[in-house]
């Protein structure tokens, strides 16, 4: 798909999936606006974008802050006139027993992963509705389909994102706006490495490169596909989860029970 003359906003564009996606979209002719919380990393991304997409830009923004998001969307609409594709990729995660996770940390995960997407969609949507076109892509996770051990806060944020995406699909399709949700398994990024050695450890065979996720996102946009799960064997697992929920739950619990971490005294 040629993205020539498209204006694409990518959140969490400074590293990993977002960075790879920004470069891929720019190579396809898009004007890419990348946002993130790290000015230093954004500058590095911009250096890569400018030679292939001179109009592309980066904006410092914490999507968990509603006012920052509103200011960012307003600036993009003023400077570029529209947002053709919004890709909600910003996220944070943690692998830790729920009872030992500070409530503030759970709130931060939900604020970034879920409300960050909500704020961006809510701010960008009126202009898409006015034009009768647009595409919203929410980068979720297999953890938004299959709840896993020691990731309750993260899973909750991604389950919420999947529910939001499905509801918006029905609401916005008649208005000419497409919605996609992309659910990768473990991805080889700094995000994943921050807790990759905390049980249960993902097998190396399940970990996919950020570039593969970026390609899956672009394919979902090209095909106007609602849901994409990758890699394929996790897509199959998600199918079994939906087809035989009780059987899958029992089998998955049996596989994970040896990784249960005993709570510290006082919990």
114 is catalytic: no
Identify which of 221, 12, 26 has the alpha carbon closest to the alpha carbon of residue 137: 221
Three-class SS of residue 258? Answer: helix
DSSP assignment, residue 263?
Answer: P
The catalytic position among 6, 114, 119, 154 is 154
Q: CB of 18 within 8 A of CB of 38?
A: no
CA 154 – CA 109 distance, rounded (Å) = 6
Distance CA 17, CA 228 (A): 15
- What's the length of the chain? 267
Strand-by-strand arrangement of the 227-230 sheet: 57-60, 31-36, 7-11, 85-88, 134-139, 177-184, 227-230
- Do residues 119 and 166 touch, judged by C-beta distance below 8 A? no
Q: What is the CA radius of gyration of the chain?
A: 18
Tokens of 80: 């570029």
**Number of continuous H segments (helices) and E segments (strands) in the chain:** 10, 9
Where helices occur in the chain by DSSP H, the ranges are 16-27, 39-49, 66-80, 103-110, 116-131, 152-172, 190-193, 210-223, 232-243, 245-256
Catalytic residue ranges: 154
């Amino acid at each position: 798909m040629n993205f020539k003359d498209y204006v694409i906003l990518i959140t969490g564009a400074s590293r990993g999936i977002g960075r790879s996606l920004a470069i891929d979209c720019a190579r396809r002719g898009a004007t890419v606006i990348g946002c993130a919380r790290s000015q230093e990393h954004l500058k590095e991304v911009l250096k890569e974008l400018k030679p292939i997409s001179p109009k592309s830009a980066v904006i410092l923004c914490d999507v968990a802050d509603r006012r920052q998001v509103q200011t960012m969307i307003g600036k993009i609409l003023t400077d570029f006139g529209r947002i053709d594709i919004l890709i909600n990729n910003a996220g944070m995660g943690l692998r830790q027993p729920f009872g030992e996770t500070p409530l503030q940390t759970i709130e931060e995960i939900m604020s970034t992963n879920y409300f960050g997407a909500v704020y961006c969609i809510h701010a960008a949507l009126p202009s898409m509705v006015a034009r009768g076109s647009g595409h919203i892509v929410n980068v979720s996770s297999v953890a938004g389909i299959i709840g896993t051990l020691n990731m309750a806060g993260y899973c909750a944020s991604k389950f919420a994102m999947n529910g939001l995406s499905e509801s918006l699909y029905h609401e916005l399709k008649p208005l000419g706006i497409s919605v996609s949700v992309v659910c990768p398994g473990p991805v080889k990024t700094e995000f994943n490495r921050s807790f990759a050695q905390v049980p249960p450890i993902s097998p190396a065979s399940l970990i996919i490169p950020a570039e593969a996720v970026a390609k899956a996102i672009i394919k979902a946009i090209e095909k106007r596909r609602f849901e994409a799960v990758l890699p394929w064997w996790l897509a199959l697992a998600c199918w079994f989860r939906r087809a035989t929920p009780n059987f899958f739950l029992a089998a998955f619990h049996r596989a994970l029970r040896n990784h249960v971490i005993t709570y510290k005294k006082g919990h």
